[in-house]
Amino acid sequence: MTANENFDTSLQQKLEEKKSAGTIRTLIHATDKIDFSSNDYFGFAQSSILNQTETNNVPSGGTGSRSITGNSELAESTEQLIANFHNREAGLIFNTGYMANVGLFSCIASKGDTFISDEYIHASIIDGMRLSYANRVRFKHNDLADLEKKLQVATGKKIVSVESIYSMDGDEAPLKAIAMLCKKHEALLIVDEAHATGIYGDRGDGLVCKYGLEREVYASIHTFGKAIGLHGAVVVGSNTLRNYLLNQARSFIFTTALPPHIYLQLQKAYSLLPTADRNELNELISYFRATISRISNISFLDSYSPIQGIMVGDNFKTKMLANHLFDKGFFVRPILSPTVPIGKERIRICLHSFNNKKQIDDFLNETILFIRSYIIQ
Ligand SMILES: Cc1ncc(COP(=O)(O)O)c(C=O)c1O
């Protein structure tokens, strides 16, 4: 066996381990299924509405990093427009939300400082923190007493990170109380608004704006791949933070800039956010919750956001249910441990303004039939 083949064999062994643990990932096509999975909350990505911008006059590629040839008046004016929209001084656009978090968290703290993050914080923030030399501690999910305990013993600069809406559980962080605790303990607060952007606030500006916490929150991350229907993300905060990040955030510096048409599309998407179909979405969330709570023998997430979940509590059974629903025409994915804690494996459902009540009824009927026949013995 060649060295390459040997190496492949060792990789294959690891894949077999994942297969027998029921955690192997495969790539699938979403074609012609009812979408209960994507993050395209208002259907912006599917509609042609964001393509109706004058993209002919801008280069099709980024041509270089933002620090070299990839910058433009268009990029900077878009950043300012988005920062203004979220009521912040400045913003810096990264190529993805993952890169925004990795860039921000890897460079914002030094040796001796302490990151304190919710235990359910997104992988991109974990990876960013891991790249820094600061200490890392976690507090129990949404648990203010535990957060305060961790704040009391933390050393150096203290940086607390939360998601305003959690991507797996769909629940909301108690942002006002967390902001007060951070103030009391002189800690910075950073809020990832990936799943709140577009959905909350009168204009879809997010939960930090909804609660008027712009002065208490040091920085927020708004991703563009979800309700905005595009790609990329912005870190909003002070001018100083922006200047610091464009000097220090390696995932900003060492990569080709986004293609310029995205800035035109972002301007269009942000102009649509104030009138996006939040009412329709909220009505479907209420309908989903009211319907599922009338069904016995089904356990579901206590979530008031578009992210809902049917708790199954076992990798294999969760996969079985997801496969069945997929075959029946619903695009849903199983969320397995270790992505979520053991025992909390689930079907994750993402509701959109373009879904309808009949789709929800059909989906829940199929789910409960399957659960009663094959999962509850
Ligand atoms: C809370 C949160 N932060 C960051 C990201 C990463 O964003 P992107 O998909 O733009 O890389 C995601 C996406 O899954 C997310 O859910």
Given pLDDT bands bounded at 50, 70 and 90, which one contains residue 376?
low
Q: What letter would DSSP give residue 372?
A: I
Mean per-residue pLDDT over the chain, rounded = 95
Please give the share of the chain, as a percent, with pLDDT higher than 90: 87
Convert 53-92 to b/e letters by CB count within 10 Å (16 or more is b): bebeebeeebeeebeeebbbebbbebbeebbebbbbebbb
Given pLDDT bands bounded at 50, 70 and 90, which one contains residue 37?
very high
Task: Report whether residue 101 contacts ligand 1, using a CB cutoff of 6 Å.
Answer: yes
Phi-psi region at 326: left, alpha or beta (left = phi > 0; alpha = psi -120 to 50) = alpha
Task: Report whether residue 97 contacts ligand 1, using a CB cutoff of 6 Å.
Answer: yes
Average pLDDT of span 125-149: 98
Average pLDDT of span 178-207: 98
pLDDT over 90 (residue 296): no
Do residues 107 and 248 make contact, with C-beta atoms less than 8 angstroms apart? yes
Residue ranges of the chain that CATH labels 3.90.1150.10: 27-42+277-375
pLDDT over 70 (residue 135): yes
Average pLDDT of span 270-281: 97
Average pLDDT of span 149-157: 98
- pLDDT of the residue at 298: 87
Given pLDDT bands bounded at 50, 70 and 90, which one contains residue 377?
low
Q: From the CA of 210, how far away is ligand 1's center (Å)?
A: 21
Task: Report d(CA 373, CA 377) in Å as an integer.
Answer: 8
Average pLDDT of span 240-257: 98
Task: Report whether residue 165 contacts ligand 1, using a CB cutoff of 6 Å.
Answer: no
* Pocket residue to mutate for ligand 1, from 37, 41, 122, most atoms within 8 A of Cβ: 122
Q: What is the 3-state secondary structure (H, E, C) of 229-285?
A: CCCCEEEEECHHHHHHHHHHCHHHHCCCCCCCHHHHHHHHHHHHHHHCCHHHHHHHH
Average pLDDT of span 313-330: 93
Q: From the CA of 8, how far away is ligand 1's center (Å)?
A: 30
Please give the share of the chain, as a percent, with pLDDT higher than 70: 99
pLDDT over 90 (residue 308): yes
- pLDDT of the residue at 21: 84
Residues 6+ apart with CB under 8 A from 61: 256, 259
Give the atom of ligand 1 at the shortest distance from the alpha carbon of 167. Answer: 16
Helices 123-130, 97-107: inter-axial angle, 10-degree rounding: 30
Q: From the CA of 96, how far away is ligand 1's center (Å)?
A: 8
* Pocket residue to mutate for ligand 1, from 120, 165, 167, 262, most atoms within 8 A of Cβ: 167
CATH of 27-42+277-375, one of 3.90.1150.10, 1.10.260.40, 3.30.9.10, 3.30.720.200: 3.90.1150.10
Task: Report d(CA 34, CA 32) in Å as an integer.
Answer: 7
- pLDDT of the residue at 374: 79
CATH of the domain spanning 61-274: 3.40.640.10
**Which residue type is seen at 157?**
K
Q: From the CA of 156, how far away is ligand 1's center (Å)?
A: 28
Residue ranges of the chain that CATH labels 3.40.640.10: 61-274
Task: Report whether residue 353 contacts ligand 1, using a CB cutoff of 6 Å.
Answer: no
Task: Report whether residue 197 contacts ligand 1, using a CB cutoff of 6 Å.
Answer: no
Report pLDDT digits (tens) over 120-131: 999 999 999 999
Average pLDDT of span 218-231: 98
Average pLDDT of span 30-46: 93
Average pLDDT of span 25-43: 91
Report pLDDT digits (tens) over 54-111: 777 888 999 999 999 999 999 999 999 999 999 999 999 999 999 999 999 999 999 9
Task: Report whether residue 166 contacts ligand 1, using a CB cutoff of 6 Å.
Answer: no
Give the atom of ligand 1 at the shortest distance from the alpha carbon of 224. Answer: 10
pLDDT over 80 (residue 24): yes
**Which residue type is seen at 110?**
S
Task: Report d(CA 330, CA 321) in Å as an integer.
Answer: 11
